[in-house]
Amino acid sequence: GNSVTQMEGPVTLSEEAFLTINCTYTATGYPSLFWYVQYPGEGLQLLLKATKADDKGSNKGFEATYRKETTSFHLEKGSVQVSDSAVYFCALSDSNSGYALNFGKGTSLLVTP
């Protein structure tokens, strides 16, 4: 079956540091890949996505590239801000599961001034 593994947190960084959150997946088909974010006190929201191999998703300075050869979708940001403090979830979906999302466990990020 499908599964997503992401690095465990919490991750603590100073403002302007470089961020990488690793995500790898297992899938039988050709999934779409997502990063969702949950800010404190808010609901889950889509951060970025990629629907096929070698696609790069980007939003708010975050990027992730769909790497089929390494089954990875690592999240990166060159310079984090305090406002980026949140929990980040890697997820996949494919037609076999009705496009329901299969999430990783989440990675908590705390950015300090």
Partner 1 sequence: GAGVSQTPSNKVTEKGKYVELRCDPISGHTALYWYRQSLGQGPEFLIYFQGTGAADDSGLPNDRFFAVRPEGSVSTLKIQRTERGDSAVYLCASSTLTGGGTEAFFGQGTRLTVV
Contacts with partner 1, residue ranges (CB under 8 A): 4, 30-32, 36, 42-46, 49-52, 89, 91, 93-95, 97-106
Q: How far is the CB of 12 from partner 1 (least distance, A)?
A: 17
Report the phi/psi class of residue 82: left, alpha or beta, with left for phi > 0 and alpha for psi in -120 to 50: alpha
Distance of CA 91 to the CA centre of its chain: 7
Q: Considering beta carbons, is residue 17 or 63 the nearer one to partner 1?
A: 63
Q: Considering beta carbons, is residue 9 or 72 the nearer one to partner 1?
A: 9
CA–CA separation, 110 and 113 (whole Å): 10
Distance of CA 11 to the CA centre of its chain: 14
Q: How far is the CB of 15 from partner 1 (least distance, A)?
A: 26
Provide the 8-state DSSP code for 106. Answer: -
Q: How far is the CB of 42 from partner 1 (least distance, A)?
A: 8
